Amino acid sequence: MQPRADPGGMEVGDPVEHLTEPAGSRGWGVFFDRDGTLNAHVRRGGRRTSARHEQEWTALPGVQECFGRLRAADALIGVVTNQPDLSRGLLDPATLDRLHRRLGRLDGVWVCPHTARQRCRCRKPSSVLLRRAAARLSVDLAGSYFVGDRPTDAQAALNAGCTAVLLTPRVPARPSLIAGLHYAPDLWEAASTVLHLRRTGAARRENGPASHKETV
């Protein structure tokens, strides 16, 4: 498919990347979906859509607190999002950049600008953008996490080999039977889940497999 330019002149045949080079790799990261995870959806014609203007942007509660807790644990923070309004000509790159600046400090943002009909390689649930993000930030996907609010977010995480935390107001009473999938009701609990998994995972690596021998 040949890339085509939107009204703002940006080619939308490839993913969009905004990268702030970190001082050095810290080995692990937490990536976030955007709409419905970090900011509220916008209702248009009864459908949930993305913000197209700064006036439509509403950050969800707990974003900065979540980021702060994860940064205190030395995590890199990135956003991986589908924004098909770019290829529809309904959102321009400059506005997109201003919207992301409202999230505060990020180590990188990776955007798929395509619609589902364009059948690109980068649209979630593809793992392409997560793999690209991990490579650019030099983080290990197996030790990293992806937080989102849709099944496609969880699938992208599992496809990439990282742990998924799915935001849902009704957390299942039983743990997920799918390895690598966890649930949280909000961003605070998502951060708690990530930090707990990080601590217990590090303990397993440090101490080795737990022994199942009984003490006599």
> 6-16 pLDDT, tens per residue?
323 333 356 77
> 70-117 pLDDT, tens per residue?
999 999 999 999 999 999 999 999 999 999 999 999 999 999 999 999
Which of the four pLDDT bands, split at 50, 70 and 90, describes residue 210?
Answer: very low
Q: What is the pLDDT of residue 173?
A: 74
> 149-188 pLDDT, tens per residue?
999 999 999 999 999 999 998 888 777 768 889 999 999 9
> 127-146 pLDDT, tens per residue?
999 999 999 999 999 999 99
In the block, which residue shows the tokens 């992806």? 146
> 54-65 pLDDT, tens per residue?
999 999 999 999
DSSP state for residue 174 in the 8-state scheme: S
Instruction: Decide if pLDDT at 1 tops 90.
Output: no
Q: What is the pLDDT of residue 11?
A: 37
- Enumerate the domain spans of the chain: 16-169+178-206
CA-to-CA dists, residue 207 to 116, 203, 211, angstroms: 45, 6, 10
Which of the four pLDDT bands, split at 50, 70 and 90, describes residue 20?
Answer: low
> Whole-prediction pTM value?
0.83
> What is the fold of 16-169+178-206?
Rossmann fold (3.40.50)
